[in-house]
Amino acid sequence: MRVLVALLALLGSGGASAQDDAFDFEGLPPGPGQEETYYNCVACHSMKLVTQQRLTRESWDEVLDWMVDEQEMEPMEPELRIIVLDYLAAHYGWSENAAN
């Protein structure tokens, strides 16, 4: 997991968010996984549908499966799925609503 985070930072999506005032990813908090989460979810619905939720990591896991199984979302590559899941759990976790 740490490796993925470091990789993301190298790719430039981690640290570069501070100056992105023009585009705020519908208010998704900056951090590793912000872009990935946005672009994989916003294709079908507003991020509000996502950000209004507070779920455990396990439940987010199930939501992602549900999106694929029932809502015709393209399955994500395993690495990408973990990045998105980490992001959702970190910022929209059940017990971590201080992240906003």
Among residues 15, 44, 48, 97, which is the contact residue for ligand HEC, using CB under 6 A? Answer: 44
CB of 13 to ligand HEC, least distance (A): 16
Question: How many residues make contact with ligand HEC (CB under 6 A)?
Answer: 16
What's the Cα-to-Cα distance from 82 to each of 18, 22, 24, rounded to whole Å?
23, 27, 22
Establish if 64 lies at the interface with ligand HEC (CB under 6 A).
yes
In the complex, which residues of this chain contact ligand HEC (CB under 6 A)? 40-41, 43-45, 49-50, 53, 63-64, 67, 71-73, 84, 88
